[in-house]
């Protein structure tokens, strides 16, 4: 077996893995990344990047049609070809994947294509198309990501019952789509499909859509989706699906306990993701795990010294940017230990300062404590809100549905968390996130002069509302 020696070996070239490898190389370490599939991981190839391309084109399609009809124009959609929209999403993913390959070469990170398994605390065996290779490493990072989680009664065939992966790789639209799960993935697909004219039904087991987001934000989103003709069942349990020749029958029990049979042309299952930890040899090394997730401590190190883990396989939020940040922390820690560089800035990712975002329309973004979590933990707090309908830019661009909501300490006025629902939420949330991270107060945000008219003025007004002096509401 061929053998190679590195300072740092990463298993998985997703947003956690490739970022960690590049950062390690910047710090003078010899680094290699093992990847059995496409560079860039799920997010770049079959996740957040192609889905955002679809969302962008769905927005242009729906808004352009609405604008033309409002001005009296007749819109003929008879030659609409969704496959061209799909091809644009694949082009975006392919371009960025090639870009990551370039960055790895530029930083002299070796990319090894194959399936990896840990044969020891400092040894990785890789089955490549050309034979077996053994990599010896002073530190190893696991960043193998996740895959769509199947559930009983809804086995993926990627023809009638789709995973998110299968849906992103499909260049055709069904006439009727049933979506199981109203989290971020389900609601983003519901938006895209509805915008392109698909009859959409969404079912969620929990009492509301987007159950991980602020309750007020989820109510605004649900109201908007219903107004566009999306049928929604919350507090509903799906027991299975029967695939017929030309349709699917979904067996559902609604919130009142009544049984329902819903017909659709296809089903999208979006009820979470399963970790990719099988076959890595973790059980032989005593790596501590709980419910399929790897438990990590300071610097994202596992219970086996010298082996680190980041991303979806850990208990941290399953978000690409969380994985990337954790990867940087690991690389800086390993470089410190091996090269004597300065101590890393952070010991772990600060969960309270990790933003989340849902890219449907209206967008939703948040960070830190929610009102519900503050109450649950008994943390003293106050809440300030400002509605989008009081914001000139939102009204002028016909996007008045939304609000900025800030959680703050009633004594110090420190920002404890925030939620934004509405136009540009995923971008504007970072003003409040930076303020909170820098230990600024709502007064600091309120005093900052904002350009007019901008959606970000709603943040300033919400901060002023926290001080009892909002102007436009």
Q: Are 290 and 336 part of one and the same domain?
A: yes
Q: Is residue 52 a part of any domain in this protein?
A: no
Q: Are 141 and 278 part of one and the same domain?
A: yes
User: Residue written as tokens 């470089």?
Assistant: 335
Average pLDDT, the chain: 96
User: Residue written as tokens 């260049």?
Assistant: 171
Query: Is 321 among the residues known to form the active site?
Result: no
| Tokens read off for 217 | 């934000």
Which of 351, 375, 403 finishes a domain? 351
Q: Are 312 and 372 part of one and the same domain?
A: no
HEC sequence for the chain: CEEEEEEEEEECCCCCHHHHHHHHHHCCCCEEEEECCCCCHHHHHHCHHHHHHHHHHHHHHHHHHHHHHHCCCCCCCCCCCHHHHHHHHHHHHHHHHHHHHHHHHHCCCEEEECEEEEEECCEEEEEECCEEEEEEEEEEEECCCEEECCCCCCCCCCCCEECHHHHHCCCCCCCEEEEECCCHHHHHHHHHHHHCCCEEEEEECCCCCCCCCCHHHHHHHHHHHHHCCCEEEECCEEEEEEECCCCEEEEEECCCCCEEEEEECEEEECCCEEECCCCCCHHHHCCCEECCEECCCHHHECCCCCEEECHHHECCCCCHHHHHHHHHHHHHHHHHHHHCCCCCCCCCCCHHHCCEEECCCCCEEEEECCHHHHHHHCCCCEEEEEEHHHCHHHHHCCCCCCEEEEEECCCCCEEEEEEEECCCHHHHHHHHHHHHHCCCEHHHHHHCCCCCCCCCHHHHHHHHHHCCCCCCC
| Tokens read off for 467 | 């001080």
Q: Are 258 and 383 part of one and the same domain?
A: no
Mean pLDDT in residue range 79-105: 97
Cα-based distances in Å from 306 to 6, 33, 123, 296, 388 = 13, 16, 11, 12, 49
> pLDDT at residue 222 above 90?
yes
Q: Is residue 285 a part of any domain in this protein?
A: yes
> pLDDT at residue 66 above 80?
yes
Which of 224, 248, 271 finishes a domain? 271
How many domains would you assign to the chain?
3
Q: Is residue 176 a part of any domain in this protein?
A: yes
> pLDDT at residue 183 above 90?
yes
Mean pLDDT in residue range 231-259: 96
> pLDDT at residue 192 above 80?
yes
Domain housing 119: 2-46+87-147+274-351
pLDDT of residue 440: 98
Q: Are 369 and 308 part of one and the same domain?
A: no
Q: Are 295 and 404 part of one and the same domain?
A: no
pLDDT tens for 119-160 read 999 999 999 999 999 999 999 999 999 999 999 999 999 999
| pLDDT bucket at 1, cuts 50 / 70 / 90 | confident
Distance in angstroms (rounded) separating the CA atoms of residues 166 and 457: 40
pLDDT tens for 414-443 read 999 999 999 999 999 999 999 999 999 999
Q: Are 14 and 143 part of one and the same domain?
A: yes
Q: Are 244 and 120 part of one and the same domain?
A: no
**% residues pLDDT > 90 (the chain):** 98
Record the pTM: 0.95
Q: Are 245 and 175 part of one and the same domain?
A: yes
Q: Is residue 192 a part of any domain in this protein?
A: yes
Phi then psi for residue 342, to 5 deg, are -55, 155
Q: Is residue 290 a part of any domain in this protein?
A: yes
> pLDDT at residue 372 above 90?
yes
Mean pLDDT in residue range 379-408: 97
pLDDT of residue 473: 86
| Selection from 215, 146, 155, 199 nearest residue 405 by Cα | 215
Which of these is catalytic: 247, 381, 452, 472? Answer: 452
pLDDT of residue 245: 87
Q: Are 39 and 17 in contact (CB under 8 A)?
A: no
Q: Are 26 and 109 part of one and the same domain?
A: yes
Q: Is residue 65 a part of any domain in this protein?
A: no
For residue 409, the domain's CATH number is: 3.30.390.30
pLDDT of residue 274: 96
Q: Is residue 104 a part of any domain in this protein?
A: yes
Mean pLDDT in residue range 68-94: 95
For residue 303, the domain's CATH number is: 3.50.50.60
Phi then psi for residue 224, to 5 deg, are -65, -40
Q: Are 396 and 383 in contact (CB under 8 A)?
A: no
Which of 253, 271, 289 finishes a domain? 271
pLDDT of residue 318: 96
Q: Are 445 and 390 part of one and the same domain?
A: yes
Mean pLDDT in residue range 337-342: 94
Q: Are 223 and 233 in contact (CB under 8 A)?
A: no
Q: Cα Rg for the chain, rounded, in angstroms? A: 24
| Selection from 158, 123, 161, 115 nearest residue 139 by Cα | 123
Q: Is residue 299 a part of any domain in this protein?
A: yes
Q: Are 172 and 119 part of one and the same domain?
A: no
């Amino acid at each position: 077996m061929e053998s190679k020696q590195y300072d740092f070996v990463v298993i998985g070239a997703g947003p956690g893995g490739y970022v960690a490898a590049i950062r390690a190389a910047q710090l003078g370490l010899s680094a290699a990344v093992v990847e059995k599939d496409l560079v860039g991981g799920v997010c770049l190839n079959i996740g957040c990047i192609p889905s955002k391309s679809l969302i962008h084109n769905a927005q242009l399609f729906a808004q352009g049609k609405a604008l033309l009809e409002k001005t009296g124009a007749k819109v003929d959609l008879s030659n609409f070809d969704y496959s061209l929209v799909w091809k644009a999403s694949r082009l975006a993913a392919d371009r960025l994947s090639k870009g990551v390959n370039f960055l790895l070469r530029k930083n002299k990170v070796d990319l090894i294509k194959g399936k990896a398994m840990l044969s020891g605390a400092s040894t990785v065996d890789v089955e490549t198309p050309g034979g077996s290779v053994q990599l010896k490493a002073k530190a190893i990072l696991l960043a193998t990501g996740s895959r769509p989680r199947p559930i009983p009664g809804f086995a993926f065939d990627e023809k009638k019952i789709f995973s998110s992966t299968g849906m992103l790789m499909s260049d055709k639209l069904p006439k009727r789509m049933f979506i199981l799960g109203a989290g971020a993935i389900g609601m983003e697909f519901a938006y895209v499909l509805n915008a392109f004219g698909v009859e959409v039904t969404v079912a969620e087991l929990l009492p509301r859509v987007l159950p991980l987001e602020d309750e007020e934000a989820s109510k605004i989103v649900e109201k908007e989706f219903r107004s566009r003709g999306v049928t929604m069942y919350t507090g509903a349990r799906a027991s299975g699906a029967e695939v017929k020749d030309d349709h699917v029958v979904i067996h559902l029990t609604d919130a009142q306990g009544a049984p329902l049979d819903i017909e659709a042309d296809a089903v999208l299952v979006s009820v979470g993701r399963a970790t990719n930890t099988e076959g890595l040899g973790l059980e032989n090394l005593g790596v501590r795990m709980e419910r399929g997730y790897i438990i990590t401590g300071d610097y994202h190190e596992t219970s086996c010294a010298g082996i680190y883990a980041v991303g979806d396989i850990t208990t941290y939020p399953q978000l690409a940017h969380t994985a990337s940040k954790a990867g940087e922390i690991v690389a800086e820690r390993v470089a410190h230990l091996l090269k004597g560089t300065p101590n890393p800035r952070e010991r772990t990712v600060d969960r309270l300062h990790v933003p989340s975002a849902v890219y449907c329309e209206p967008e939703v973004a948040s960070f830190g404590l929610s009102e519900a979590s503050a109450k649950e933990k008994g943390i003293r707090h106050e809440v300030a809100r400002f509605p989008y309908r009081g914001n000139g830019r939102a009204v002028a661009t016909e996007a008045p549905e939304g609000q900025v909501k800030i959680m703050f300490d009633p004594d110090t006025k420190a920002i404890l968390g925030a939620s934004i629902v509405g136009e540009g939420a995923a971008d504007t949330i970072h003003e409040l996130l930076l303020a909170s991270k820098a230990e600024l107060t709502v007064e600091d945000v309120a005093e900052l002069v904002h350009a007019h008219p901008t959606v970000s003025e709603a943040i300033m007004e919400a901060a002023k509302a926290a001080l009892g002096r909002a102007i436009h509401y």
